Amino acid sequence: MASIDGILIVNKPARITSREAVDAACKRLRTKEIGHCGTLDPLATGVLVLVVGRARRLQDLLSRSRKVYLATLRLGGRSETDDAEGPITWVDPEPMAPSEETVRRIAAQFVGEIEQRPPSYSAIKLQGKRLYELARAGTKVDAPARKARVFELEVLEYDFPRVRTRIACAGGTYVRSIARDLGENLGIGGFLESLCRIESSGFDLSRALAPEVVDGSHLLPIEEALPLYPRIDIAAAQVRRLANGAAVHCELPPLRLDQDEQLFGWVNGRAVAWLKRSGVRQVRSNRLLVTPEELQALAEEELSTQDAMAARARPQ
C-alpha cells in the first residue's frame, strides 16, 4: 500500500479532544501515521492542522508557528482550570465593572514576549506526570513560568463581564492563562469562556473540514505549509551531496537575528529538505522531506527540463 503523506486542515468541534480528532482522521484515512500541530482543549473549536505520513517531520515546527484566536474572556470569577470547564468561584459581592479604557490598557500589557504560568490543568509534564493528572489526583502543583510570545491582542468588544478579543501568538501560548492573568491584573479575576482558533500555520478556518468528512482527497502537499519560510533552490548537480548530509553551495537570505531561522531546500518545484546554515553560502540537510531516490528523480527531471529548454533556444 502506497504511503499517504500531506496535511489536513480540520475544524475541531467543541467537546472532543485534539486526540479524538486525530483518531477520527486515522479511521478515515486508514493510517496511524497522523499527528497534530498544537493542542486545542475540548472547550475550544477551530483550526487543527494534522500532519500525515512524512509531513510529521514538520510537526514540531508547525506546532510552534503563529496561531490566531477569537477568545471571549469572562471577568468577575476564578476557575480551577482557567476556563469555563472547571469549578468556578465567583467574586462576591459582584465587582464594579472596570472602564473600557482600563481593560484595553491592561490587555495591551500582554503583547510582546511575556512570562506565563501554564494552567494547572494542562498537558505539561512535571515530575514525570502531566499537570492535569496531578490536579485530578488532588495534587496542586504550579508549573514554572515560561516565556510566551503574543504578537497582537485586540479588544474587539467589551460588555462587562465579557471581553471579546482577537489574539495572535506563537505556538505554546496559553490563552487560558492570558484570560486568568488579565482578570487578576484588573483585580477581579477572570477565565476563558470560549475559544475559536481561526488560523494556524498559515491555514485559516475557511479551509477547515469536519473530522468525520476528511479523506485522502483533502490532503494538501507539504509545500502549502511553507510559504512563510525562506526558499533555497538547490542545484540539481548538488542533490547527491544534500542526500548524504554534506554541505552544498547556494544563495542564502540575510540572517535574521530577531527570530528563529527556518530554511527549506527546493528542487524542481518540490520542498525536499529542512536545512541549516553551514558556513558562508552553504547549507546542509537538517532533515530530508523526501527519500534519496525521490530527490535524485526530481534532480533528473529538472536537468531534463533544462536540456529541453536549451535545445529549443538553439538556432535551427
pLDDT, one tens digit per residue, over 130-176 is: 766 666 666 777 778 899 999 999 999 999 999 999 999 999 999 99
pLDDT value, residue 13 = 97
pLDDT value, residue 138 = 65
Percent of the chain with pLDDT over 90: 76
pLDDT value, residue 1 = 45
What CATH number was assigned to the domain covering residues 67-200?
3.30.2350.10
**Among 2-6, 10-14, 58-62, 76-80, the least confident range:** 2-6
Average pLDDT over residues 62-73: 96
CB 69 within 8 A of CB 167: yes
Residue with grid cell 491592561, as numbered in its chain: 106
pLDDT at 259 over 70: no
Residue whose C-alpha is closest to residue 287's, from 301, 300, 271: 271
Q: What is the dihedral of CA 14, 19, 21, 22, to 10 degrees?
A: 160
CATH fit for domain 6-65+202-223, picks 3.40.50.300, 3.40.50.970, 3.40.50.9100, 3.30.2350.10: 3.30.2350.10
Q: Is 44 helix (H, G, I), strand (E, B) or coil?
A: coil
Residue whose C-alpha is closest to residue 273's, from 256, 285, 261: 285
pLDDT at 12 over 90: yes
CB 79 within 8 A of CB 91: no
Max alpha carbon distance in the chain (Å)?
A: 92
Q: What is the dihedral of CA 82, 84, 89, 92, to 10 degrees?
A: 110
pTM here?
Answer: 0.90
168-179 b/e with 16+ CB inside 10 Å = b?
A: bbbbbbbbbbbb
Residue 87 grid coordinates: 469549578
Q: Which residues contact 46 (CB under 8 A, 6 or more apart)?
A: 11, 12, 40, 69, 195, 196, 197, 198, 200, 205, 208
State how far the Cα of 151 lies from the Cα of 157, in Å rounded to an integer. 19
Residue 184 grid coordinates: 487578576
pLDDT at 225 over 50: yes
Domain ranges of the chain: 6-65+202-223, 67-200, 229-311
Active-site positions read: 41
Beta bridge partner(s), residue 129? 126
Residue whose C-alpha is closest to residue 214's, from 8, 53, 76: 8
Helix residue ranges, H only, 64-194: 100-108, 131-136, 175-185
Average pLDDT over residues 266-288: 92
- CATH 2.30.130.10 corresponds to the domain 229-311: yes
pLDDT value, residue 39 = 92
What are the φ/ψ torsions at residue 255 (nearest 5 degrees)?
-70, 125
Length of the chain: 316
Say what angle helices 100-108 and 175-185 make with each other, to 10 degrees: 130
pLDDT value, residue 251 = 85
Higher pLDDT pick, 102 / 120: 102
29 pLDDT band, cuts 50/70/90, is very high
Identical fold at 6-65+202-223 and 229-311?
Answer: no
CB 83 within 8 A of CB 44: no
Higher pLDDT pick, 228 / 71: 71
pLDDT tens digit sequence for 71-93: 999 999 999 999 999 899 999 99
pLDDT at 40 over 50: yes
